[in-house]
Amino acid sequence: MNTKSFHFILTISCSMFLLSSCGNSQEECELDEKILDVPIDLSIERLEKQFYTASTEEEFLFLLEEYPDFAKDYLEVELYESKEQLAQELIFINQDTLMQELYAEVQENYADLNQLEQDLSHAFAYIKYYFPDFNIPKVYTFLTGFSNDLYISDEMIVIGLDYFLPKEHEFQPTDLPRYIADRYDREYIVPMVVTAISSKYNKVDPKQNTLLAEMIFYGKAYHFTKSILPCTADDFIIGYTSEEVVACFANEEFIWSHFIENDLLYETNPFEIRKYTGEAPATDAISPDAPGRVGRWLGWNIVDDYRFNNDISLDELMEMEDAEKIFRQSGYKPRQ
């Protein structure tokens, strides 16, 4: 598919479907009240406030004792000779002028976390509804100095708020290319968290190492996230712009043809697989205008079709290891 055809079909799509994706108007979406009634006990602890207003060794030692899980798993206190040594390092970081400036900017941009707390509570209620074994983790926010965007385990989630400052903000992570850094905004926090949690339930067959298996893995992850966040736009789940989402659907037949004509589904070369599922500004093998990771997007469509065409629950879908079976029974065809 050449660049011209990609743009041409996008133009046709926007004229035909102005009232849907291209017009950015969506049907009214409401969360299921029955699911929201699932009891959730969540309160976000703002550890950046506590750690960046502390100044003495005694205060830091108290915080390390007060939050032993954070000290052990996030700050990795066991790597230090003593807690006192870690406390001294934290004092040094706290006294850094740039870190204090960054802290002030985080406090200004995240004056309160009421909306984030509500959105996470709703997401956890949905996960708990579909997966009763899900235990609500502790949720902390922190100022990481752009060293860790999200830390997620079964017991604890740490959100590095400095990563999620507005994308036009003067403070930006220096180790991320622009096309990735653009996805670090507040609207992406909850979808990122939910997608990460999906890996706990996303079963795979390690013997299936094809491009198709990789596509289905990501497809299940995004389907999980959309099921947990039904009112969240696809843009924030997969990390595309709304224009890229529209363009992908407009060119879906061209994209699918590329995979079929080049016998890609059962490709096992990891370098070839990465061309279609790895992070990149574009999927150049298809078109310089095709967004990166388009194989993941295609896998999402296949999984959506599988769930739509088969009587299967979300937890049953996530338990399925056989990517080939999901594909064969999906009845997937590109949208016309």
pLDDT at residue 186, rounded to an integer: 95
Write phi, then psi, for 146 (nearest 5 degrees): 60, 40
Query: Does the pLDDT at position 6 exceed 70?
Result: no
Rounded Cα–Cα distance for residues 35 and 135 (Å): 16
Q: What percent of the chain has pLDDT over 90?
A: 88
Q: What is the pLDDT of residue 336?
A: 67
Query: What is the pLDDT, as a whole number, of residue 262?
Result: 97
At 269-321, the pLDDT tens digits run: 999 999 999 999 999 999 999 999 999 999 999 999 999 999 999 999 999 99
Q: What pLDDT was estimated at residue 9?
A: 43
Distance (Å) of CA 146 to CA 160, 162, 163, 259: 8, 7, 6, 37
Mean pLDDT of 169-195: 92
Confidence band of 13 (pLDDT split at 50, 70, 90): very low
pLDDT at 174: 83
Angle at 10 between CA 4 and CA 11, to 5 degrees: 90
Is the confidence at residue 4, as pLDDT, over 60?
Answer: no
Q: Would you say 306 and 314 are in contact if contact means Cβ atoms under 8 Å apart?
A: no
Confidence (pLDDT) at 173: 86
Closest CA to 286 of 278, 294, 277: 294
8 A C-beta contact, residue 69 and residue 138: yes
Confidence at residue 302, expressed as pLDDT on a 0 to 100 scale: 98
Is residue 306 within a helix (H) or strand (E), and if so which, with residue range? Answer: helix 294-309
Q: CB–CB of 161/140 below 8 Å?
A: no
The answer, yes or no, to whether residue 151 has pLDDT greater than 80, is yes
Q: Which of 24-38, 80-94, 130-144, 251-265 has the lowest mean pLDDT?
A: 24-38
Residue 209 near residue 236 (C-beta atoms within 8 A): no
Mean pLDDT of 164-176: 88
What's the pLDDT tens digit per position in 195-235?
999 999 999 999 999 999 999 999 999 999 999 999 999 99
- Identify the weakest region by mean pLDDT among 15-19, 72-76, 212-216: 15-19
Query: In whole angstroms, what is the distance from residue 326 CA to residue 331 CA?
Result: 9
Residues near 4 by Cβ (< 8 Å), separated by ≥ 6? Answer: none
Single pTM value for the model: 0.91
CA–CA dist 247, 297 (Å, integer): 12
Domain residue ranges in the chain? 37-193, 202-330
Q: According to the model, what pLDDT value does residue 23 have?
A: 38
